[in-house]
Structure 1
């Protein structure tokens, strides 16, 4: 018997997943009681993100500015 399991998100899935999270936060679909746990998880993501050499060199800021012009959050 095979049990279906959820595959981890890939690098291409993350931007859309995070945009969906932002929409759900804006729409109030995330309960206030869940915000503390979400905050801890987001802090861990930002810490890992900031440890990347690409980010420390500032190259990510330039890429992000270019990317946002063609990809609005909403």
Structure 2
């Protein structure tokens, strides 16, 4: 008997998965009761991301090249 197991996401899967998460949040498809757990998980992701400053700075440069300078005055 074969038991299927879910494979972990690869590095190429993450941008799409995070876009889908953002869309589900915008659409209200994630319950408010689940937001606290999601917040903890997202904080852990951001902490890990911020421990890689070279990558973070390069990503910011690439984003500026595509989208232009970030408008901080609202």
TM superposition score category, shorter chain reference? 0.7 to 0.9
Aligned-residue CA RMSD (Å): 1.9
Structure 1 residues not aligned, in runs of 5+:
70-74
CA deviation profile, 1:3-55 (whole Å, cap 9, x unmatched):
10011001110001000000000000000000000000000000000001423
Matched ranges for 1:1-74 at <5 A = 1-55=1-55, 58-66=57-65
Give TM-score, length-normalised by structure 1.
0.80
SS of structure 1 residue aligned to 2:30: coil
Aligned pair count?
A: 68
Which entry has the higher C-alpha Rg, 1 or 2?
2
Q: Say if 1:48 and 1:22 are closer, same or farther in 2 by CA, change over 3 A.
A: same
Give TM-score, length-normalised by structure 2.
0.80
Q: Say if 1:9 and 1:68 are closer, same or farther in 2 by CA, change over 3 A.
A: farther
List 4+ stretches of structure 1 deviating above 4 A: none
**Aligned-partner Cα distance in 2 for 1:39–1:22:** 13
**Aligned-partner Cα distance in 2 for 1:21–1:45:** 14
